[in-house]
Structure 1
Amino acid sequence: MTLRQIDPKQRGFLIVNSHPEGAAETVRRMWERIPARADGSRPVVLLLGHSAGYGLATLLTGLRGHGIRGVGVAFEGAETERRTATAGWYRTAAAETLAREAGHDFVFVNTDAFSAAGKEQVLALVEERYGKVDHLIYSLAAPRRTDPETGTVHHSVIKPLGGPYEAPALDFSGDAPKVGQVSLEPATDEERYATQQVMGGADWRLWVRALAGRGLLADGFTTVALTYIGSELTAPIYRQGTIGAAKEDLERTAGELDAELAGQGRAFTAVAGAAVTQASSAIPSIALYTAFLRTVLGDGFRTTADQAADLWEQLTGTAPLVLDEQGRIRLDGWELDEQVQDRVRALWADPESGLERARDGADWFMGQIRELYGWGVDGVDYEQPVQTTVAWPAPGVTV
């Protein structure tokens, strides 16, 4: 066990260490805000990517609101001599404690979900402990993926397609946030393909087929992969860029899987609204857009837990499915409301002036980034040494 006095190591949006108690406190606070009203159904869930962002929110709302059982999968780094464990490691430990204390049967595996060995480990655990799966939630986000069949390592890129990208962006390199400019050259065909292989539907398809191959699909099985569309303001770098190409592949995969599951289950993508996550903070211009959106909406900005609660209501039949013309579950109506977007466009039209009116939104965004790593959480004493050695919850063993 290691007791350390630690301080954040930060440059702009990049934070390379995490605070164990701060990270755990963010989980406890999200848990406490979720109504505890388990409906008695206690479905078995395989949640791929449970340790951050929408995956974490889906885990906690599923436990508190629907008494889900099952397995969560993430790939987090343990503590080393030079660094703390990742924030997702500490969040997982906190989530497991809350789930266990509330009497929920949910276990966590730390493994590379893209690998054949990782799939085998997880599926064996599911089969032994739970049997058939009611819901597979796919919420993985990673910068690279090794194709388990070819051994090729694909690296995703965040680039436009067809032409260069220039746009305003939020710059936190100084004492106060300011508007900078980002310029990116277009992706090559190879970069587009690689991004699609990491962030598209290839791995999701493998998971669904692996479950089916082992006879682990419950009657009425549902699988959902989380995705994002966003505003036309961010479309050139998101929906019309390499990430968007990957998301389109994800959506095509949903249709293919839905056809494969006909008579036994369903497959959807679920379009979430904007959020501050470790993945989204890496996308140019998203920070500025999100700061403006928060300024416009204030407390009307829906949290990941709010959106995850909506998703569970629809998946469990408590509320009707809200589908668009492409058959996607829509959770983002609050963000894309035309009046909301008109006000965001007005700020975006003159971003430097807009930032002056959106200082609170920019400060909120950076505060949210810090909280992702357990820093800046109210009530946590950062002056005191903290126990940085935290065990991964059994039976989750890294492979």
Structure 2
Amino acid sequence: MIIEPRTRGFICLTAHPKGCEQNVLNQIEYIKERPVKEGPKKVLVIGASTGFGLASRITSAYGSGAATIGAFFEKPPKKGRTASPGWYNSAAFEAQAHKDGLYAKSINGDAFSNEIKAETIDLIKQDLGEIDLLIYSLASPVRTHPDSGERFKSVLKPIGKTFTNNTVDFHTGEVKEISIEPCNEEEIENTVTVMGGEDWQMWIDQLKAAGVLSENFKTVAYSYIGSSLTEAVYRNGTIGKAKDHLEATAFKITDSLNDINGKAYVSVNKALVTQASSAIPVIPLYISLLYKVMKAEGTHEGCIEQIERLFNARLYAENLDLDEAGRIRIDDWEMRDAVQAKVLELWKQATTETLPEIGDLKGYETDFFNLFGFKVEGVDYDEDVEEVVNVPSIKE
């Protein structure tokens, strides 16, 4: 099958297995050269198939030789229809990990459900006994509550008043004004239910009750703060309320882990092109300008570089540096005053005509297509490839 990208808005409807595989192999090679001293040995990653979750799994496995279990919810392939990119990523990771003698198994299903939690606990008991790190990197627009069965949907809206600012259609390069109507109280509550910390806490509570958390266990969830340019629709909007809840949950989890000397942290990460961030208005324009500035000063990082720095310079370093709210900050290079001032200056100049020069729209577009295995260096896209690829540990 010759596979080409087919896009609709901020998603790509196809994915390329060879491109996804090459992306994974590139990240593995990056981590092999940067081992994690005293890193984790038995790791569970919730949301392990793309972005920061995938980078966390790779860093755990190839940085410190950890056995990894990855949970995710991905669409498997059928003859004539590609899988979702996370499926191909996971297939490539597992295949390479097994080749390199590393334990790696995966579970595909709704991580919000009690069934997937129970299946994961059974696998840990059977194969690993316990885990010493859990990465929570779940990004979903909807959640079916495991107890009530009620389905909740998150929204990306400002709170209190209409938000109007510029954004860019990265497919066409058109910079245009966008207005987003404010949310209501129910939409805030629903977004917190989907994207807040309740499910993270449920995972920890059930794992602890099952006796599969090690002494000195750590867990990390990922968050974002961002700049003044995006705060109305992000940090001060509905999604920001969910992130506030997630961050408050870290303290509750730590309290619940006192008897095993366990700790829960939130890591605030840099703005990057992910399937989730592509859906947020204004963010594509901000990222294209941010990339231009950070690449010029040599501080740009992708997911794998961010997570390697999280593990080596924060989580498993001698001195875990936290901010005043108790968070790990690996968005520190993005949030430098000089970087933000330059981005703000460029923002004022950004038009359809100027953006190709003052921004890095090309970099944004390349990163977007890379998420789905397209535009990856070294891949022959004219080659006939097999779309049906299996994740070794998943029996369909």
Contact 2:78 2:387 in 1 (8 A): no
Equivalent residue runs for 1:17-166 within 5 Å: 17-34=14-31, 35=33, 37=35, 39=37, 43-80=41-78, 83-166=81-164
In structure 1, the partner of 2:203 is 207
Partners of 1:296 and 1:123 in 2: how far apart? 44
After TM superposition, the structure 1 = structure 2 runs for residues 178-193 of structure 1, keeping only pairs within 5 Å, are 178-193=174-189
What secondary structure does 1:29 align onto? helix
Q: CA deviation at 1:11?
A: 3.6
Which is further off, 146-155 or 55-64? 55-64
Inter-partner Cα distance in structure 2 for 1:21 and 1:123 = 32
Name segments (4+ residues, structure 1) moved above 2 Å: 11-14, 36-42, 80-83, 313-319, 356-359
What is the rounded CA distance, in whole Å, between the counterparts of 1:284 and 1:201 in structure 2?
A: 24
Residue 356 (structure 1) shift: 4.4
2:333 maps to which residue? 334
Q: Secondary structure at the match of 1:387?
A: coil
Farther-moved stretch of structure 1 (307-316 vs 232-241): 307-316
Letter in 1 for 2:16: H
1:257 pairs with 223, 248, 253, which one? 253
SS state of the match for residue 334, structure 2? helix
> Which residue identity is paired with 1:203?
D
**Unmatched 5+ stretches in structure 1:** none
Partner of 1:363: 362
| 8 Å contact from structure 2 (residues 278, 284) kept in 1 | yes
Residue 308 of structure 1: aligned partner: 307
Aligned partner of 2:212 in structure 1 is: 216
Secondary structure of residue in 2 paired with 1:300: coil
Which residue number corresponds to residue 12 of structure 2?
15
Deviation at 1:391, TM superposition (A): 0.9
CA contact (8 A) 1:111 1:397 kept: no
The secondary structure found in structure 2 opposite 1:333 is coil
Q: Which of 152, 165, 168 is the matching residue for 1:167?
A: 165
Q: How far did 1:183 drift?
A: 1.1
Report the Cα distance in structure 1 between the residues aligned to 2:11 and 2:251, rounded to whole angstroms.
36
The 5-angstrom pairing of residues 282-293 of structure 1 reads 282-293=279-290
Cα separation, 2, equivalents of 1:267 and 1:99: 27
- Indicate the percent of aligned positions where both proteins have the same amino acid: 38
Deviation at 1:38, TM superposition (A): 5.9
AA at the equivalent of 1:276: V
Structure 1 partner of 2:377? 378
Deviation for aligned residue 1:217: 1.5
Tell me by how many angstroms 1:102 deviates: 1.8
Deviation of 1:377 (Å): 1.2
Alpha-carbon deviation of 1:316?
5.4
Query: 1:127 Cα deviation (Å)?
Result: 1.1
What TM-score do the two structures reach when normalised by structure 1? 0.94
- Note the C-alpha offset of 1:317: 3.1
* Counterpart in the other structure of 1:393: 392
Q: CA RMSD in A?
A: 1.7
| Paired letter, 1:46 | L
Q: Distance in 2 between matches of 1:41 and 1:257?
A: 21
Tell me the distance in 2 between the aligned counterparts of 1:28 and 1:255. Answer: 36
Could you tell me which of 244, 251, 255 is aligned with 1:248?
244
| AA aligned opposite 1:30 | Q
Change (3 A) 1:82 1:193: farther
Aligned to 1:268: 265
CA contact (8 A) 2:289 2:343 kept: yes
Q: Secondary structure at the match of 2:333?
A: helix
Between 1:101-110 and 1:193-202, the stretch displaced more is: 101-110
Displacement of 1:137: 0.7
Contact 1:109–1:397 under 8 Å retained in 2: no
The question of whether the paired residues in 1 share the 8 Å contact of 2:171 and 2:365 is answered with no
Q: Once the 2 structures are TM-superposed, how far is the Cα of residue 237 of structure 1 from its aligned partner?
A: 0.7
| Corresponding residue for residue 296 of structure 1 | 293
Q: Displacement of 1:81 after TM fit? A: 5.2
Distance 1:181 1:173 in 2: 16
SS of 1:72's partner is: strand
Q: Which amino acid counterpart does residue 124 of structure 1 have in structure 2?
A: D
Classify the secondary structure of the residue corresponding to 1:45. strand
SS in 2 for 1:166: strand
| Secondary structure of the structure 1 residue equivalent to 2:321 | coil
Give 5+ residue unaligned stretches, structure 2.
none
- Render the CA deviation track for 1:47-77: whole Å, top value 9, x for unaligned: 1011111011111111111111131111100
Deviations 1:187-208 (CA, angstroms, capped at 9, x unpaired) = 1111111111111001001000
Amino acid at match of 2:97: A
Quickly say closer, same or farther: Cα 1:41–1:258, change in 2 above 3 A: closer
Stretch of structure 1 that moved more, 177-186 or 40-49: 40-49
- Would you say how many aligned residue pairs link Structure 1 and Structure 2? 391
Q: What is the rounded CA distance, in whole Å, between the counterparts of 1:236 and 1:44 in structure 2?
A: 39
Aligned partners of 1:41, 1:301: CA distance in 2, in Å? 24
Matched residue of 2:316: which SS? coil
TM-score by length of 2: 0.95
Measure the CA separation in 2 of the matches of 1:311 and 1:172. 29
1:102-140 superposed Cα distances (whole Å, 9 cap, x missing partner): 221121111111011111111100111111211111000
8 Å CA contact 1:36–1:65 kept in 2: the answer is yes
Moved more, 80-89 or 120-129: 80-89
Report the 3-state secondary structure (helix = DSSP H, G, I; strand = E; otherwise coil) of the residue aligned with 1:336: coil
CA shift, 1:318, in A, is 3.0
- How far 1:28 sits from its partner (Å)? 0.9
Q: Say if 1:293 and 1:189 are closer, same or farther in 2 by CA, change over 3 A.
A: same
- Quick one: structure 1 residues 208 and 201, their matched pair in 2 at CA, closer, same or farther if it must change by over 3 Å? same
Cα separation, 2, equivalents of 1:13 and 1:337: 29
- 1:12–1:172 CA contact under 8 A, matched in 2: no
Give 1:36 deviation, angstroms.
Answer: 5.5
Q: Deviations over 1:222-262 (max 9, x none)?
A: 11111111111111110011110000000111111111112
Shift of 1:14: 2.5
